[in-house]
Amino acid sequence: MQVNFALLLQIMIALIGAYVVAFTAALIIWTFRDIRSRSRDIFAQLLATLMVAVFSLPGLFLYYILRPKETLAELYERELAEEALLQDIEEKQACPSCHHVIMLDYQICPHCHTRLKKECQNCKRLMHLKWNVCPFCGHVPSELAISTPTTAIMPPERLSAARDA
């Protein structure tokens, strides 16, 4: 009876030991997978896995507190959403005068008739009212070519070519 009890105890210890080893291995694997989905930093991956390997459950608890909040996939999705939102804001501008929503390619505000953009005399594309050179074709509007100081540094032959165009 005494022998049987010792054997039973041995088996139980072996079972508990095997369970602890399997549990720790599972924790380590879970941590490694989790940190890999949250950080590309190899050092952080190694540190997190090691922390759980050494401290087991308390290590996992620590990791759970310290790990990056978002997975890389979530971060990517959030960045995409933010970019889309920014684009939306850029495309839907407001009229500086009446603050109605206007499109980027409006020349005149349909609500208060404020002039928003001007057309390039050469390539007919829309320019900002403050621009005194067309960024698309390099054309200098004739009224500006004479009056603004920025065009004074232009060589005369380019200036007259711009005026003739």
If one asks whether residue 145 binds Zn ion (CB under 5 A), the answer comes out as no
The dihedral over CA atoms of 59, 60, 62, 64, expressed in degrees to the nearest 10, equals 170
If one asks whether residue 93 binds Zn ion (CB under 5 A), the answer comes out as no
If one asks whether residue 38 binds Zn ion (CB under 5 A), the answer comes out as no
Of 146 and 165, nearer to Zn ion (C-beta) is 165
For residue 49, what are the contacts with CB-CB under 8 A and spacing of at least 6? 28, 31, 32, 35
Q: Which of 48, 52, 120, 145 is close enough to bind Zn ion by CB under 5 A?
A: 120
If one asks whether residue 35 binds Zn ion (CB under 5 A), the answer comes out as no
If one asks whether residue 139 binds Zn ion (CB under 5 A), the answer comes out as yes
What minimum distance in Å lies between the beta carbon of 106 and Zn ion? 9
If one asks whether residue 109 binds Zn ion (CB under 5 A), the answer comes out as yes
Within the chain, residue ranges assigned H as helices are 2-38, 42-66, 72-91, 142-147, 156-164
